[in-house]
Amino acid sequence: MTENLFAHVRSWVLQDMSAAFPGLPTDVLAKIEVAPSRDAAHGDMATNAAMVAAKPAGKNPREIAALLVDALVKRAGIAKAEAAGPGFVNITLEAAFLLQQIPVILAAKEAYGQGTDKGQKINIEYVSANPTGPLHVGHCRGAVVGDALANLIAKAGYDVTKEYYINDAGAQVIALGRVVYFRYLQALGLADKADAYAASVPGGMQYGGAYLEPVGAAFAALHGTALVDKPESEWLDAARQFGVAKMLDLIRDDLAALRVYFDVFSSEDALVQSGGVTRGLAILEQAGLIYRGVLEPPKGKTPDDWEPREQLLFRATAYGDDVDRPVAKSDGSNTYFANDIAYHADKMRRGYRQMIDVWGADHGGYVKRMQAAVKALAGETPASLDIVLCQIVRVMKDGAPVRMSKRAGTFVELRDLIDEVGPDAVRFIMLMRKSDAQMEFDLNAAVAQTRDNPVFYVQYAHARARSVLRAAGEVTGLAQADLTSLAAPEELALIRKLISWPRMVDSAAEAREPHRIAFFLYELAGDFHALWNAGRDDAALRFIQAEKPVETKARLALVTATAMVIRSGLAVLGVQPVEEMR
C-alpha cells in the first residue's frame, strides 16, 4: 500500500495510458497528474491525462478520456471513472479503498505523510542575524519560515541540516568590540575615560542599547583595569570575540523562546581565518571566472563620487547575472560577496549539492549573483541554491501599526512579541502568508480565542478530537475497526482531506512553501469542525453512540486519525498541539 494514494492512482493512469498509447514520450507522461477533486460532485480525484496526451497521440481529449475510463474502471479500488469537461477523467474510489487509508494513518501515527528517504542532503540556512544584538521582529519571519521549511523538507524525505551563519567578521563586529570596551570603561566607573574614548571613535559609538552594559561589566570582571588606556591593538580582538559570544548567547535564547534550534553554527571569521575565502575564490579563478576590470556606473543613477576603478571581478554574467560583481574592494580586501562565495563553497565542500538560503527581501538584489556563484562553483557536478525571500512584517495593534524605531524606544524585540502572544501564535501566523508577500501581524487577533484566530481554530480542532477520545475512554482495536458505516458527506470530506496530507507535504516541500501546510491545517480543522457541527443538528452523527459500538468505533478511528494528522502538520510548523482548551 502506497501511502500517497494520489501517486498510487497516478501509477495506474500511467500504466493504462502507456498501454493504450505506447509511443507517449516521457516528458508528456511526466505532465500527467492525479489531483484531489475540488468539487465532491467530481468524485475523489481527477486526472488531466487525456488533455496532456491529446497532441502527441493525435486524438482529441474526449476520445482519449473515453479509452482511459474503460481501462480505469477495471481496476479494483476504482468505483467509477467518467470523462468530464474538456477531457478530465474524474475518478471515484471504492469506499472500502478510501477507508483502508484510515488504518494506514493509525499505524503510521504522526509519521503519516513522511516521504520515502530520498538519500539526498539539503542544507538550509536562515536567520543568520549579525551577532550585535537581540533579535527583533524583522528576523522573526525568516526564523519561522526557515525552521518550518526545514521541517517540511525533512518530512518529505530529505536529510536536512539547519544552519546559522554567524557574520562575525567585518566592520559591524569591530564596532561591537568598541562598544564592549566603552561599556567596560563605564563598568569600571571611568565615565570620563569612556566618554573620551567614545568621542575618539570615528563615526561614534553604535549599538547604544542597554543590553551591552552587562557585557561590559562581565568584560571588566574578566580583565579588571588591565586594558584601560591601552591601544585598540591590545584589546579589540578580545572585546570583539567576547561581545560576539555574549550576543550569540542572547540570540540563542531568543531562538529557543521561539523553539528554533540549529544543527550547525558556522562562523564567518573562522572561515576567513582558515583560508576559506582564498580556497573559494581559487575555484573560480581556475575556471577563468575572475578578472581585473572596470565596471560601468549603474545607468541613470550615477553616485556623486563615482570614479572608474579597476577591481577584481567575478564573471557573474556567464551564469545569468546582469553585471559582473566585485569580489575585492579598492584597498584589496575582500567584499562581503567574496566571503559569501567562500561560505557556499564551504557548504559544497561539506557535501551539500542542494542548498536553501532564507533571506530578508532587502537582499533580493543579491539572489542572481549568489546563484551564479553557486553554479560556477559547482563545475561538473550540478548544485542548486534556492533562495526564499521574506518580506516585511508590519505589526498591528488596535488597528494601528506598531512603529519599530530604536530612537522612539518602541523597537519591538522578538522577545516582546513572543511574551505577548506566545511562540505558537507567532509561528502559526507568520506561516499563514506566503513568505514573499508583505504581511500584517495583528496582535489582537493573535491572542483572540475565537475563530478569527487561525491558531486557535486549529488547536481547538485537535483539543476537540482529544476530548472525544477522552470521553470515549479506553477503546482498543481501532485499527481493526469495521469502517463501513463512515458514509456521511462530512465524514467522507474529512477522510479525503486526511489522505491528501502526504501529497501536500510533497508539493509544499518541492515548492519551498511552508505556508501551504498552515492553510492545509486550517482547512482540515474546518472539515473536522464541520463534522462536529453536523452532530449538533443530527444526533445520529455524533461520534459516541451509546447503543452502536461498531459505528462508535469507526468514528473514533476517524477522530484518532484526524488528531494524528493535525499533530503531524503542527510538528512541521513547530507548533505544539494542545490537549484541551482552557
Partner RNA sequence: GCGCCCUUAGCUCAGAUGGAUAGAGCACGAGACUUCUAAUCUUGAGGCCGGUGGUUCGAAUCCACCAGGGCGCGCCA
Using the rule CB under 7 A, is 368 a contact of RNA? yes
Per CB under 7 A, 204 contacts RNA: no
Numbers of helices and strands, H then E, in the chain: 23, 15
- Contact of 38 with 6, CB cutoff 8 Å: no
State the minimum distance, in angstroms, from the CB of residue 10 to RNA.
Answer: 11
* C-beta of 123 vs 311, nearer to RNA: 311
d(CA 290, CA 339): 15
470 makes contact with RNA (CB under 7 A): no
Nearest to RNA of 195, 269 (CB atom): 269
Taking CB under 7 A as the criterion, which residues in 265-284 touch RNA?
268
For the bound state, the minimum distance from the C-beta of residue 229 to RNA, rounded and expressed in Å, comes to 28
Are 492 and 531 in contact by the 8 Å Cβ rule? The answer is no
Beta-bridge partner residues of 160: 122
Judging by beta carbons within 10 Å of its beta carbon (0-12, 13-18, 19+), is residue 392 exposed, middle or buried? Answer: middle
Choice between 85 and 189, CB closer to RNA: 85
Residue 363 in contact with RNA, rule: CB under 7 A: yes
Query: Do strands 159-166 and 121-125 pair parallel, antiparallel, or not at all (unpaired)?
Result: parallel
Report H helices in 314-442.
336-349, 367-378, 414-421, 423-430
Q: Closer CB to RNA, residue 171 or residue 408?
A: 171
Give the residue with the Cβ less far from RNA, 265 or 519. Answer: 519
For position 292 contacting RNA by CB under 7 A, the verdict is: no
Are the C-beta atoms of 422 and 439 separated by less than 8 Å? Answer: no
Q: How far is CA 208 from CA 15, 176, 179, 195, in A?
A: 68, 10, 8, 13
Are 323 and 294 a contacting pair, CB within 8 Å?
no
Nearer to RNA, 82 or 94 (CB): 82
Among the listed ranges 112-120, 169-177, 178-186, 477-485, the one in contact with RNA (CB under 7 A) is 169-177
What are the start-end ranges of the H helices in 258-321?
268-273, 276-286
How many whole angstroms separate alpha carbon 437 and alpha carbon 440?
A: 10
88 forms part of the interface with RNA (CB under 7 A): yes
According to CB under 7 A, which one of 311, 354, 371, 568 is a site residue for RNA? 311
Calculate the CA dihedral of residues 287, 289, 291, 297 and round it to 10 degrees. Answer: 180
8, 29, 36, 138: which one binds RNA (CB under 7 A): 36
Among 66, 392, 472, 488, binds RNA (CB under 7 A): 392
**Which residue number, 299 or 407, has a Cβ lying nearer to RNA?**
299
- How many whole angstroms separate alpha carbon 90 and alpha carbon 43? 6
As a whole number of Å, the end-to-end CA separation of the chain is 40
Q: Phi then psi for 450, rounded to 5 degrees?
A: -140, 180
Report yes or no: 348 and 378 within 8 Å, Cβ to Cβ: yes
In the list 8, 37, 195, 217, the residue contacting RNA (rule: CB under 7 A) is 37
Kindly report the three-state secondary structure assignment for every residue of 228-271: CCCCHHHHHHHHHHHHHHHHHHHHHHHHHHCCCCCCEEEEHHHH
Q: Choose the binding region for RNA from 113-121, 140-148, 363-371, 561-569 (rule: CB under 7 A).
A: 363-371
Question: Which one of residues 25, 288, 303, 473 is an interface residue with RNA (CB under 7 A)?
Answer: 303
Minimum CB distance to RNA smaller for 254 or for 551 = 551
Instruction: Pick the piece of the chain touching RNA (CB under 7 A) from 194-202, 224-232, 284-292, 387-395.
Output: 387-395
Interface region with RNA, contact rule CB under 7 A, candidates 95-103, 118-126, 228-236, 306-314 = 306-314
For 164, other C-beta atoms within 10 Å of its C-beta total 24
Q: How far is the CB of 357 from RNA (least distance, A)?
A: 13
121 lines the binding site for RNA (CB under 7 A): no
526-565: which residues touch RNA (CB under 7 A)? 526, 529-530, 532-533, 535-537, 539, 541-544
CB-wise, 220 or 499, nearer to RNA? 499
Nearest-approach distance from CB 191 to RNA, in angstroms: 29
Whole-number minimum distance, CB 382 to RNA, in Å?
18
User: Considering beta carbons, is residue 203 or 224 the nearer one to RNA?
Assistant: 203
Cell numbers for 368 = 542572481
CB of 503 to RNA, least distance (A): 6
Q: Which of 27, 117, 192, 305 lies at the binding interface for RNA (CB under 7 A)?
A: 305
To RNA, the closest distance from the beta carbon of 507 in angstroms equals 5
Residue 192 or 536 with smaller CB distance to RNA:
536
Within 506-525, the residues that bind RNA by CB under 7 A are: 507, 510-511, 513, 515-516, 519, 522
472 binds RNA (CB under 7 A): no
Residue pair 177/239 in contact by the 8 Å Cβ criterion: yes
Give the interface size with RNA as a residue count (CB under 7 A): 102
Distance between CA 154 and CA 509 in Å, rounded? 9
Contact between 202 and RNA per CB under 7 A: no
Q: Torsion-angle region of residue 67: left (phi > 0), alpha (psi -120 to 50) or beta?
A: alpha
In the list 14, 20, 33, 211, the residue contacting RNA (rule: CB under 7 A) is 33
Q: Is 35 in the site for RNA (CB under 7 A)?
A: yes
Query: Which residue of 27, 331, 380, 474 would you call a contact of RNA, by CB under 7 A?
Result: 331
Whichever of 185 and 577 has its CB closer to RNA, that residue is 577
Q: Does 167 bind RNA (CB under 7 A)?
A: yes
CB 264 to RNA: min, Å: 18
Cβ contact 327:338 at 8 Å: yes
Where b means 16+ CB within 10 Å and e means fewer, 230-246 reads eeeeebbebbbbbbbeb
